[in-house]
Structure 1
Amino acid sequence: MVSQYFSTEDFDLEMQTNCHRSATTLSANVLDLRSIIPQLSERHHYGQEDYSEEEVEITNYNDVDSEKIHSIRVKPKRIHQNPQTPMVLPSTHKPKNLLSWLKQKTYLKEFFAEFLGTMVMIIFGSSVLCQVICANKLQDNGFNDKMVQFNDTEVSNSLENLKLVFATGVAGSFDNIAFGWAAAVTMGYLTAGGSTISGGHLNPSITIANCVFRAFPIKKVPIYVAGQLFGAIFGCLIAFGLYKEVIVEAFTNWWDHEAVGAMFCTMPMPFLSSARQFLSELLCTAMLQACIFALTDPYTSLSTNVFPILLFILVFVINASMSLQTAASMNLARDFGPRLALTMLGFSKQILWSDYYHYFWVPIIAPILGALLGGLIYDIFIYQGNDSPVNWPHASYVNYMEKRLNKDVKDECLYTHEDGSKDRNRKTDKGRNLNVDIREVENSNLSMSNYNTK
């Protein structure tokens, strides 16, 4: 924030408070600070060393007391920044080193965002499972050790039954898991920068659904999926390292115990057939994708300020209602990444890749198809935007596929401005999932307009 130094010492407390509030409200483009001493011009704005006239404009005026008054003009933010945040990168901001350049100028900024967001999600989500499962197992081990002291088998069996009825975990239960995963997804989304950098997909299924239904650039899909997969692998390794001693204490043969695998990847109920497993994951992901499209619909959704809260509620209600059968993976990276990590740690390959009718393929295929199904259903019944193929003229489908695969045609897009003029030279911003520049192609009779869902 801008620091304030008042030139008049007898400024009363109320006036200082009002000036402070005015100075810290930087969502407006122009900010006039009326009683700031000349030293303000020597201080750095947001840590920047150099300024140009475009960035900060300071003008001196003479009042009755011959004191200098400064007017500061803050330029609009760059398009990739959240317009609701108070901090502003100046228009002349330039990367200071290689890492800063990679984060700002290349697709790696989106890879980094998806990697970090997915890693945070897996760390929190897997850790809450480790905490609940290991604590309950340690409690059971302590109870069983006490039961050995009884010589009467009938008494031991009675106490065992009472434990199953009345005993509760010391570190949580199913409710903690549902809440923990909902918070993990929300924190991962926010850590990835929300909608400002990559969109915080954290899920290949969501990335693919946005590519099909929201004109997300197809060439960015591998970058997003790679970031999500590597983030899940590293997140699993970090969570395992955090709880390794507890896991070894609770499970003697941890590398061959199903409960340990369930801490990091999903495990179905043993009596479910492959078809039932597939159906469970398909419906869970369809509900997830349909609701996400609803929460980000620019025509019907609420304010974007409440999206993280609604995302938390969405993930919680899915886990609380639809996760009994297959633990509601809904995410290729969330399940497949930890499986690869556990394989590297020496966990049983039989449990990971063969048990439950080779279940490992279900969280890979079913979430993708479920996301496409959920997106299709929502667009058929609710969505009105022309960026969805559901709302295109039928003659446009073939032309669109040809033009999307042709880079030369894709770069020469037509844009219709508010005044009706068209521009061929404007470049598209292809880097975000929810802030999408929609193209209008005359040959395919496809009319689209720019929109911002975040």
Structure 2
Amino acid sequence: MSAFLAEIIGTMLLIIFGGGVVAGCVLKKSKSENGGWIVITCGWGFGVAVAVYAVGSISGAHLNPAVTVALATIGSFPWAQVPTYIAGQMIGAFLGAVVVWLHYLPHWAASDDKAAKLAVFSTGPAIRSYGANLLSEIIGTFVLVLGILSIGANKFAEGLNPFIVGILIVAIGLSLGGTTGYAINPARDLGPRIAHFVLPIAGKGDSDWSYAWVPVVGPIIGGVLGALFYKTFFGA
């Protein structure tokens, strides 16, 4: 399997788990309706772990353009492969969102809340303030990349690293996710947002394109800063 295909599959799995847990918690007549924030953060974290287990040995399981760009910035990944990885991540995120839509197909018409339907696909701020929202995404992705690099520098029992990364995602969600929904990944937000725009989702509203730049720009900035911070203070 090529790294390109691995990034597609890995990111698709990530969105199936992540978007799926949000759908289960916010859509009407789901058995997990009103599951709450802890359920959502755990679903995302465990989803990341499974996706990394699936393709980590093939592509390194970036699954996130912010991670790919951050690693390239500090010389840990070739710039020539960045476009291929990002393309795979975007395709995978879109496909994962389509799977979530199909899986919960009867529940879209049963749900009246247009914002909740959009939340299955992409993030949105608790309080809309673009500067503050951008800062939240920068901080969250800074912690993500710093955490990933720090985890990689430690020795664990064989095969444990992906699970620890999943715990990192849960921790970021619990501690920092309440402001913007912690996209911390441009593909995770933009790919499903495009899916929301094009899919015939029953009773959907607009895709909130005025906010869409925040979970793209913020994670890229935060990821690069996190990688540079790690390289400066912890070594290459």
TM range (shorter): over 0.9
Q: 1:243 — aligned with what?
A: 104
Alpha-carbon shift at residue 249 of structure 1 (Å): 1.4
CA distance in 1, matches of 2:33, 2:93: 28
Q: Are 2:145 and 1:293 aligned?
A: no
CA displacement at 1:346 relative to structure 2: 4.5
Could you tell me which amino acid in structure 2 is paired with residue 338 of structure 1? P
Distance verdict in 2 for CA 1:221–1:232, change over 3 Å? same
Distance 2:207 2:10 in 1: 28
Secondary structure of the corresponding residue to residue 360 of structure 1 = coil
CA distance in structure 2 between the partners assigned to 1:351 and 1:379 by the alignment: 37
Alpha carbons of 1:376 and 1:333: their partners in 2 closer, same or farther (altered >3 Å)?
same
> Which residue does 1:230 correspond to in 2?
91
User: Is contact 1:202–1:228 with CA below 8 Å preserved after alignment?
Assistant: yes
Q: May I ask how many residue pairs the two structures share in their alignment?
A: 232
1:117–1:188 contact (8 Å) kept in structure 2: yes
- Structure 1 stretches (4+) deviating beyond 6 angstroms? none
1:286-365 superposed matches below 5 A: 286-297=142-153, 301-303=154-156, 305=158, 306-346=160-200, 350-353=206-209, 358-365=210-217
Report the AA paired with residue 5 of structure 2: F
Q: How far has the Cα of 1:308 moved from its partner?
A: 1.6
Structure 2 counterpart of 1:186: 49
Match of 1:283 in 2: 139
TM-score normalised per structure 2: 0.93
Deviation at 1:244, TM superposition (A): 1.4
Give me the whole-angstrom Cα distance separating, in 1, the residues matched to 2:116 and 2:94.
19
Q: C-alpha offsets along residues 371-395 of structure 1, whole Å, 9 cap, x if unaligned? A: 0111111111112x3xxxxxxxxxx
Distance 1:378 1:172, change over 3 A: same
Q: Which runs of 5+ in 1 are unaligned?
A: 1-102, 104-108, 140-168, 386-454
Q: Percent identity?
A: 34
Distance 1:138 1:197, change over 3 A: closer
Map Cα deviations across residues 88-139 of structure 1 (whole Å, 9 max, x no partner). xxxxxxxxxxxxxxx3xxxxx00110000000110011111111112xx449
Whole-Å separation in 2 of the counterparts to 1:351 and 1:242? 20
Taking the TM superposition and a 5 Å limit, the aligned residue runs for 1:53-452 are: 103=1, 109-134=2-27, 137-138=28-29, 172-192=35-55, 194=56, 196-251=57-112, 257-269=114-126, 271-297=127-153, 301-303=154-156, 305=158, 306-346=160-200, 350-353=206-209, 358-383=210-235, 385=236
Q: Is the contact made by 1:258 and 1:351 (CA closer than 8 Å) also made in structure 2?
A: no
Counterpart amino acid of residue 116 in structure 2: A
* Counterpart-to-counterpart distance in 2, 1:351 and 1:268: 14
Q: Which amino acid aligns with 1:366?
A: G
Measure how far apart 1:352 and its partner are: 2.4
Unaligned runs of 5+ in 2: none
CA RMSD of aligned residues (A): 1.7
* Structure 1 residue 289, shift from structure 2 partner: 0.3
Task: Please tell me whether the aligned partners of residues 146 and 229 of structure 2 are also in contact (alpha carbons under 8 angstroms).
Answer: yes
- TM value normalised by structure 1: 0.49
**Over alpha carbons, which structure has the higher Rg?**
1
Higher helix share: 2
